[in-house]
Amino acid sequence: MLTENKFSKYLIYACGEILLVVIGILIALSINNWNENQIEIKTINSYLKKIESNVQQDLKMAQSLLEFRINNSAQCVKASEMLINRDFSDQATIQNAISGLLIEISLNFNRSAFESL
């Protein structure tokens, strides 16, 4: 085209090629951004599921600990009444109440999902 002195046609052709390349690059960038957003959404959902699992485990542990303490409290009340009445016939109840007071079970929250986040 340049040898035939058709510079204007060559310039239009070159601009068209540049425009097509720019449009292709913009499309590729949009697809890449969309893919990255999808990966980020999947990662966030994975963390949310882990956090939900941790909270459910913590609730079960807290419920178990609450039941243990309620039972121990009832044993302590019964043992206190026995001691006040000087009734030493059931020493196992008194021993269980005392050992329940000595056992300290702490509630440790599972923070692994938060820490990995």
Q: What is the pLDDT of residue 21?
A: 96
Q: Using the 8-state DSSP alphabet, how is residue 66 labeled?
A: H
- Token output for 27: 């499309």
* Per-residue pLDDT tens digits for 61-108: 999 989 988 888 888 888 888 888 888 787 888 888 888 878 777 888
More confident call, 31 vs 99: 31
Q: What is the pLDDT of residue 84?
A: 85
Rounded to whole angstroms, the maximal C-alpha distance in the chain is 122
Task: Please give the Cα distance from 100 to 71 (Å, whole number).
Answer: 9
